[in-house]
Amino acid sequence: MLVLGFPAGSFGTNCYVLAAGPDGPCVVVDPGQDATAAVRAALGQHGLQLEAVLLTHGHMDHTWSVAPLCEELGVPAYIHPLDREMLVRPEAGLPADFPAAVLRGFPRSEPELVRPLPDEGVFSLAGLDIEVHHAPGHTPGSVAYSLQSGEDSLLLTGDSLLADGLGRTFPPVGDPDVLAGSMSGVCGPRRDRTTVLPGHGGTTTVGAVRGFLPLP
């Protein structure tokens, strides 16, 4: 499996490019602010063709480039229905006192093709079997994605789980108790060596997060 990652924009949001290997189809996860050029460069460098964009949740720092990227390359975006409103109205997922100036330049538009994610399920994209897990708490429509390739296991958690702890929660969309339960349910059955790719900061493993989650 080919896994490429880079921090995008002023928010440092981790954007990931996933493929079965070079010279084939791929998916992009969470194209944040100013991510389009970097994604385009990664596709060209590795001979990849974008098949879809996957979103872990609707916060604007993770969705900033989804509409322009999808429109440029003619691909669909996948998002959980409970977070879809944030694509055009980012305020729906932010505190009332969030500075309006930070949203200047946000596209406030959906891609032409938006496909809803189920609460649970496996779907095939770009030669990968991707399992989606609804994991509310950071936002109502937050999800995690898990992938398996041979002995390699990946878990993409967005802002629900970072290397140093659970993600932040704030009104009107976050709930810390719900988030803890969601992440315990998602991580609990997984092997310790599963690599966790979070929405900000460095990577970790499920084994490492067992120290701060009530996992079975």
Question: Using one digit for the tens of pLDDT, what is the confidence trace for 106-163?
Answer: 999 999 999 999 999 999 999 999 999 999 999 999 999 999 987 889 999 999 999 9
Smallest CA-to-CA distance from 48 within 59, 33, 38 is with: 38
DSSP symbol at 203? -
23: how many CB neighbours lie within 10 A of its CB?
10
What is this structure's pTM? 0.96
Q: What is the pLDDT of residue 52?
A: 98
DSSP string, 143-174: EEEEEEETTEEEEEEETSEETTEEPP--TTT-
Q: How confident is the prediction along the chain (216 residues), in pLDDT tens digits per residue?
A: 999 999 999 999 999 999 999 999 999 999 999 999 999 999 999 999 999 999 999 999 999 999 999 999 999 999 999 999 999 999 999 998 999 999 999 999 999 999 999 999 999 999 999 999 999 999 999 999 999 987 889 999 999 999 999 999 988 899 999 999 999 999 999 999 999 999 999 999 999 998 888 655
Task: Give the pairing type, strands 77-79 and 49-54.
Answer: parallel
Residue with tokens 């990849």: 48
**How far is the C-alpha of 170 from the C-alpha of 123, rounded, in Å?**
31
User: 102: which residues sit within 8 A by CB, 6+ positions away?
Assistant: none
Type of residue found at 34: D
For residue 160, CA distances in Å to 77, 98, 137 come to: 20, 20, 7
